[in-house]
Structure 1
Amino acid sequence: MAPLAQPAGPFALGTFSALSGPSFPGLVADGRVADLSGCLDGAPRTLREVLERWEHHLPALHTLAGDAALDWRDLEELRVHAPVEPRQVFQSGANYRRHVIDLEIAHRAPDDPRTVEEARAEVAELMDRRAAEDLPYVFIGLPSAITGPYDDVVLPSWAEKPDWELELAAVIAKPAHGIAVEEAMEYVAGYTIANDLTDRAGVFRRDMPAIGTDWLRSKNAPGFTPLGPYLVPAEFVADPDDLRVTLKLNGETMQDESTKDMIFNVARMVAYASRTARLLPGDLVLTGSPAGNGMHWGRLLRDGDVMEGAITGLGVQRTRCVKEDA
């Protein structure tokens, strides 16, 4: 049963199923869900199919949200899945100023001659230079790592330091390649919540340090990206660059930061990813995670931990950690 969490705006979108049965794209309004496969032109079977004709379907979605004659179902009676199945996931690292500084301090070598203040100043200078040179840090994630917003998260037996990273995710509405920052927001259908879990022990290769980061192993285990609960249309999010990102671990607040702290905002992230790749409807652009991860607190994820992630107007996801060999 899904916890009730009303998103911003008169309606949101998601993927749902009865406790037994196939999933369907759903329209969420006032705690109720309508199956869009029987309401929209073309009978879309997935939310990605809705997004592939986003500009055509959006006016109809506004109308349907107020249609009392639809076959509305109680949200609490349905299983909530990840709202969309993307073909591509673009992930961002080092995109919140305070988070980057905290990670730099946490990963300092024991023989680092710099003081804490000197290290912070150097990292701040580096981030200013990155912002001026327009060089976000973007890499590719696997869609197979995505799981639902209320599903258990399995911690692999090999993951030595599993950590949380709550993030704002932009959902792409139409193909985009080589677009300008000024037009990037026209390609965003809406937003959802992603928790981009990371095994900190696996980020850097131990056998060949010169290779650098190993994102396959550290970030892409099955279920390492809880997504949702909803896709909230962009028009209902007043300012994606001023939203509160909050993660609680077992009821204790660990992350609580505004997207104002991002070095590169949503438009710059989407435009930058499109310089190299061709973004497709339903793709995700994750915008990085703020300060307050487990490395900062010296407390990594364990069997039985419960994470509750919220972003202003996008609802709440709640996932429980289960050790693989438990």
Structure 2
Amino acid sequence: MFVKPEAAPALFAGPYALGTLSAAGQDAFPALIRRDGSVVDLRRALDDPSLTMLDVLEDWDRHTAAFADLGGRPSEGDPAVDTFRVHAPLAPRQVLQSGANYRQHVIDLHVAHRDGSDGLSEEEARAEAAEIMDRRAAEDLPYVFIGLPSAITGPYDDVVLPAWAEKPDWELELAAVIGRPAFQVSEEQALDHVAGYTIANDLTDRATVFRRDMPQIGTDWLRSKNAPGFTPLGPWIVPAGSVATPDDLQVTLKLNGETMQDESTKDMIFPVARLIAYISRTVHLLPGDLVLTGSPAGNGMHWGRLLRDGDVMDATVTGLGAQRTRCVAEASA
């Protein structure tokens, strides 16, 4: 486990957040963390010794009043969060991931990959791409694929870079945590099914995104995105009621102290509600499912600088806390 960002508990919005913690040599447990950093073991508070965060989310409506009460009480000697190991806040059932969902990011990609045969200046090419993005937002559908829960790791855990990953890259994202079942819900109803929000860093090996042996197959998300630990998650689930709007949160990633991504979620082409409504046309979304909403401009491919052994990523999303993960080459892990 790597060093936690200082004062992490105070960075979340609202009076409390939820997480999964463990003490040395003991099982992990679902916890309520107050803004002062004090911890309530929800197994004891809810009188259920086998309780998990998934159990909490499955009965979200019944628990929220109790959480508000617990979050508002004085700590009265409750232990501090810094005395525990912080795990990913939950083990999700399903992980749905959106791609190409930030306007500026996609415009940058459009301009970067043109061959110049169109005769347009860079300014003209950007204007053309912006027009395409406007049309896409008005008329098209989100691009969503499926991730694996086994890629999830904790917000302060080391990230092992597999020996085969030639171009590992970061992709910081806002993630919505489903708290009520959702199937064929409208955009207007969609956010009613969100329990809260957390931070996800959806690492990608750029070298294996497209199949070299059979290019006509297209993208290979299994290989490029789902290595163990390729999705640092958390530290907290911040209840939706404590987040004023998911559509204007700052998403910021620093690599070794240098800012690489720094964009608001208002630049999303398809906002959170629209993504959830679209996914629910096909998928029965269940409590504990994650919806990753895409990553803004500033990935490693943009900077010409991919992840290496020893790199440290510091990641924040407004009101949701902070991650710090260190990259470790597989041979050194």
Please indicate, yes or no, whether the TM-score normalized by the shorter chain is above 0.5. yes
Aligned partner of 1:295 in structure 2 is 301
| 3-12 or 48-57, larger mean C-alpha shift | 3-12
Aligned partner of 1:27 in structure 2 is 32
- The whole-number CA distance in structure 1 between the counterparts of 2:280 and 2:49 is 30
- The whole-number CA distance in structure 2 between the counterparts of 1:177 and 1:15 is 28
Aligned-residue RMSD, C-alpha: 1.7
Deviation digits for residues 158-188 of structure 1, max 9, x if unmatched? 1111100100000000111100000001000
- The whole-number CA distance in structure 1 between the counterparts of 2:46 and 2:112 is 51
TM-score in terms of structure 1 length = 0.95
Aligned partner of 2:89 in structure 1 is 83
- The answer to whether the aligner puts 1:95 opposite 2:101 as a matched pair is yes
Find the residue that maps to 1:218 and give its secondary structure: helix
TM-score in terms of structure 2 length = 0.93
Find the residue that maps to 2:227 and give its secondary structure: coil
Change (3 A) 1:134 1:111: closer
3, 12, 15: which one aligns with 2:17: 12
What is the CA distance between 1:245 and its match in structure 2? 0.5
Aligned partner of 1:173 in structure 2 is 179
What is the CA distance between 1:112 and its match in structure 2? 7.6
Aligned partner of 1:209 in structure 2 is 215
Q: Is the 8 A contact 2:4 2:324 kept in 1?
A: no
Deviation digits for residues 83-107 of structure 1, max 9, x if unmatched? 0111100000000011112223344
Q: Is the 8 A contact 1:2 1:78 kept in 2?
A: no
Q: Is the 8 A contact 1:44 1:50 kept in 2?
A: no
Change (3 A) 1:41 1:125: farther
- The whole-number CA distance in structure 2 between the counterparts of 1:302 and 1:24 is 33
Aligned partner of 1:120 in structure 2 is 126
Unpaired segments ≥5 residues, structure 1:
none
What pairs with 1:1-326 in structure 2 (closer than 5 Å)? 2-3=4-5, 4-5=7-8, 6=10, 7-29=12-34, 30-40=36-46, 42-43=48-49, 45-68=51-74, 72-108=78-114, 115-326=121-332
Find the residue that maps to 1:129 and give its secondary structure: helix
Q: Letter of the 1:50 partner, please give it.
A: V
Q: Letter of the 1:161 partner, please give it.
A: K
| 160-169 or 64-73, larger mean C-alpha shift | 64-73
Change (3 A) 1:69 1:113: closer
Unpaired segments ≥5 residues, structure 2:
none
- The whole-number CA distance in structure 1 between the counterparts of 2:121 and 2:168 is 28
Aligned length: 326
Aligned residues with identical type, % of pairs? 70
